[in-house]
Amino acid sequence: MTKVINGKTYRSHTRHLIVTLPSPFPKPDNKWDDTRLYQTQRGAYFLAGEGGSQSRWAKRTLNGLIPGAGIESLSKVDALAYAKHAGLSGDRYARAGLDPVVP
């Protein structure tokens, strides 16, 4: 998946996957999503994923919401919050350039 945001190109298939975020819903559920936290070669963070018609990745159409996919850029602070939510281990924080202690 590729998306340009504010002049920066984000490509989930060529970037460093940090962690997959757990979905509390099974795949057949409309709220299900598959969301992953990535880091670009230049150190920027972003989420990429897909999900059902009631997930964060849903797309709006004239007939309502449908399953969708997308990419969202993140600040380092937001990336840290997502990594904590996913239960990222301490050594993986360091490799991802994330400080596990929020100031």
Give the dihedral of Cα atoms 27, 64, 20, 81; nearest 10 deg.
-130
**What is the pLDDT, as a whole number, of residue 78?**
93
Residues 100 and 81 sit within 8 Å (Cβ to Cβ): no
pTM: 0.83
Nearest to 17 by CA among 33, 37, 42: 37
pLDDT digits (tens, 9 = 90+) for 62-92: 999 999 999 999 999 999 888 888 888 777 7
pLDDT digits (tens, 9 = 90+) for 29-63: 999 999 999 998 888 899 999 999 999 999 999 99
Tokens for 21, please give them.
Answer: 């975020």
Taking CA atoms, 67 is separated from 31, 35, 57, in Å, by 9, 13, 7
